[in-house]
Amino acid sequence: MKPQSHSIHRRDFIKRNLAATLAISAFPTLIPATVLGREGAVAANSRIVMGCIGTGPQGRGVMGNFLALPEAKVVAISDLIPANRDEALGQVKNAYKNADCAFYPHYEELLAQKSIDAVLIATPDHWHVPVAVAAARAKKDMYLEKPMGLSLEEDQLLRREIATNGRVFQFGTQQRSSSQFRLACELVRNGRIGTLKQIEVWGPASRPGGPTQGIPAPANIDYDRWLGPAPKQDYTDGKCFDTPTSWKTWWYHYDYALGYIAGWGIHPLDIANWGHPEMMKGIMQIEGKGVFPKAGACNTSTDWDVHFQFADGVRLRYRSRPNQNKTPDPMSDIDDLRQKFGGLSDHGTAFIGTEGWVVVDRNMIRTSPEKLVEEKWGANDLRLMASSNHARNLLEAVRTRGATICPIEEAFHADALCHLSDIASRLGRPLHWDPAAEKFLDDEEANRRLALRSTREPWRVKS
């Protein structure tokens, strides 16, 4: 008999030439919700005032979730790309039926607005931590799009700032707000598949290719500021956004991102960690291999196969799936998983125990034994935080000053798995990671890859 498949569809997540003085004068007069509460909490009858930094397709998708919630009021945006700015302003105007939303060319101007309680940060990856650190220091709570930093030391810096400034933090790993992922992790953590032995994770790989010929940057974009902390490089077609002649390449370029080993893979890796947080207790061994393009604008891994062995004996294998290369090679072939679990999408997490298994992605949850999807919970069972809306979960935490469903420490662990996978696949030799010390054992070269990257002034984040 084929294992039962229970499907739950995910929720849709889907000027620079304006003078700053005009933006400031257009800013609505609002009292921050935090002022209306007591001891830092937001009053129950007040709306949480939001600003949005980075309003590309992903940023607008997440912003749309906040716009749909009566608990929030989006009052300001900041973006360097005029098309993003115009789309976002139109989206807010359509939602609220007014033109009150202010625009700030620079995120620092938005963060200086005392009326704003919290921010959505959905910039290109290399700006995630610099903007998030500035937001924390400006006493703003935040929703930060994934992944986190370009180095683990960047992640550590942000974690310190969140703690030091007492900020509420939500990571953009929105799968935690879908019921099938919570159920899968509860089944594992309550021993319903027996003793956990193996975790399988897979996700799309980076895309190769892309234009490399330097061309003038668009006149209406401050390209030097877009680069910010990244090395100075010529503009190339499609670097910052899709064009008629090229697709967006920064996603897959190491100066701006780790590529999809983190940008996509953090989703199924985060679920692996949610289902087995014990992986971060004790020394783990990591060994991997990867394929890195030698030509074209894109230079992050287009294939990888990384193996973890945790101190408790549980193993994790993390594989890529083809992206713009439809023929799997041995590193990206998951036929063995399909034979065991049935039909699979190009991303997912599977937990295998001594008495059964559970596999989950954004379209389904499937278990063996089949009846596990209908599991009834007892008073003594571990239940994970329930959230049906990642944006609303942040707003609730801002109001109560409680934890979000993906707070900074758990976000750090998920992001660390991405960094460890990238480093192992680049070095191609066994590594030993100490989660308590947050460093590799006896491997100076691997530890150097954890450090803050060299950044351009004045964009360096001061610790």
DSSP letter string over 157-182?
Answer: HHHHHHHHTT--EEES-GGGGSHHHH
- Pick from 218, 178, 193, 159: nearest CA to 411: 159
> What is the distance between the alpha carbons of residues 449 and 154, in angstroms, rounded to a whole number?
12
CB 297 within 8 A of CB 250: no
Contact (Cβ atoms closer than 8 angstroms) between residue 161 and residue 136: yes
Helices (H), 315-388: 335-341
The three-state secondary structure class of 337 is helix
> Do residues 320 and 261 make contact, with C-beta atoms less than 8 angstroms apart?
yes
Contact between residue 34 and residue 168 where contact means Cβ atoms under 8 Å apart: no
The length of the chain is: 463
* Token reading at 339: 């034979």
Please, where are the H alpha helices in 97-127? 107-111
Query: What confidence score (pLDDT) does residue 158 get?
Result: 98
Q: Is the dihedral of CA 379, 384, 385, 389 positive or negative?
A: negative
What is the reported pLDDT for 9? 39
Q: Which residue from 382, 369, 406, 372 is spatially nearest to 273, judged by alpha carbons?
A: 406
Q: Are 26 and 76 in contact (CB under 8 A)?
A: no
Q: Is 399 exposed, middle or buried (0-12, 13-18, 19+ CB in 10 A)?
A: buried
For domain 5-175, is the CATH number 3.40.50.720? Answer: yes
For residue 261, how many other CB atoms are within 10 A of its CB? Answer: 31
Q: How many CA atoms lie within 13 A of 245 on its CB side?
A: 5
C-alpha 364/C-alpha 257 separation (Å) is 29
Residue type present at position 231: P
From 316, 318, 291, select the one nearest 303 (Cα to Cα): 291
Question: Which residue reads 């007892």 in tokens?
Answer: 378
Tokens of 183: 């159920």
Taking the CA atoms of the chain, what radius of gyration do you get in angstroms? Answer: 22
Do residues 374 and 365 touch, judged by C-beta distance below 8 A? no
Torsion of CA 359, 152, 79, 248, to 10 degrees: -60
d(CA 132, CA 461): 10
Using an 8 Å Cβ cutoff, are 304 and 421 in contact? yes
Distance CA 420, CA 287 (A): 9
Cβ atoms < 10 Å from Cβ of 21: 8
Burial code (b: 16+ CB inside 10 Å, e: under 16) for 120-146 equals bbbbbbbbbbbbbbbbbebbbbbbbbb
Distance of alpha carbon 164 from its chain centroid, rounded? 22
- CA distances 356 to 119, 372, 387, Å, are 42, 9, 26
CB-based contact 415:266 (threshold 8 Å)? yes
The residue ranges of the chain whose pLDDT is under 50 are 1-28, 38-39
What type of residue sits at position 28?
A: P
- Cβ atoms of 71 and 395 within 8 Å: the answer is yes
Residue 289 belongs to what H/E stretch? strand 284-291
Q: What is the pLDDT of residue 328?
A: 75
Check residue 2 and give its pLDDT: 42
Q: What are phi and psi of 6, to 5 degrees?
A: -115, 115
Distance of CA 145 to the CA centre of its chain: 5
* Rounded Cα distance, 22 and 146, in Å: 32
pLDDT at 107: 98
Closest C-alpha to 192, from 11, 372, 371, 53? 372
Per the structure block, which two tokens stand in for 342? 């049935």
Using CA of residue 238, residue 242, residue 247, residue 251, what is the dihedral sign? Answer: positive
